[in-house]
Amino acid sequence: MNYHNSNSYVSCVSDFDSISEPLAKKVVAADVYVIESDKHEEALEQTVTRICDISEESWDYSGVFYTNCFRSNKPILLTSLGFFGPAVPQGFQGPVAYVVDVQIGELIVMPRNHKTSWRFTVSVAGTESIFYVSLPSPLRIIPNVWYAIKFQLEGPDTLRGSSQLDRIKSSDGIIFDFFQGSLQMPSLKYIRRYG
């Protein structure tokens, strides 16, 4: 199977209108992916958000790898990771740059042999409360298996959450469980996989 983002169905919603409302209420669909297989079908990308509120304080996530762990009860394809944006003075509009290192793998084997790793350089508008890093291709997630996402952000301090959810039922009925982790990386984007 091959996957590509068609960007033809719904405009991408990559940040939230206001950071004063709880983020958990802002679960939105973003892009449509075309899945090329025996039959041609479209899969709507979904967003699951595990952080409820944004903290008043910022945090420096550089220099150390942080880990967030999750599992889903249905097969999915992980497409993007959402990170809190820069903590900049009010009125600052300019872009800031981050180097994002990511490692994703099954929690049991992660310490010895991480599954996949990437390095991204992203430019983020100073006004973005959340920015997304798209994986080069969707990553297959097996149901009921714990996955660890290790990440490091090199760049300015970022916003951070003040509380997080352990279990979320998404709008398409998939249940996500999370270990209490860093208060960064509030959301994941995914495609539901059938069969």
Kindly report the CATH number assigned to the domain that includes residue 164.
Answer: 2.60.120.820
| Three-class HEC string of 39-87 | CEEEEEEEEEECEEEECCCCECCCCCCEEEEEEECCCEEEEEEEEECEC
Q: What pLDDT, on a 0 to 100 scale, did the predictor assign at position 63?
A: 85
Q: Looking at residue 75, what is its pLDDT?
A: 97
Residue 16, pLDDT score: 29
pLDDT recorded at residue 89: 76
Specify the pLDDT at position 115.
66
Range of the domain at 32: 2-192
- Digitized pLDDT (tens) for each residue of the chain, 195 residues in all: 333 333 322 222 223 233 333 333 333 333 434 444 333 345 789 999 999 888 888 888 888 899 999 999 999 999 999 999 998 877 677 789 999 999 999 887 655 555 688 999 999 987 788 999 999 999 999 999 999 999 999 999 999 999 999 999 999 999 999 998 889 999 999 999 876
- Identify the pLDDT of residue 152: 94
Tokens at residue 58, please? Answer: 């910022």
pLDDT for residue 11: 23
Residue 59 tokens read as 């945090």
Structural domain count of the chain: 1
The confidence score (pLDDT) of residue 113 equals 57
User: For the whole model, what pTM was predicted?
Assistant: 0.76
Rounded to whole angstroms, the Cα distance separating 132 from 48 reads 13
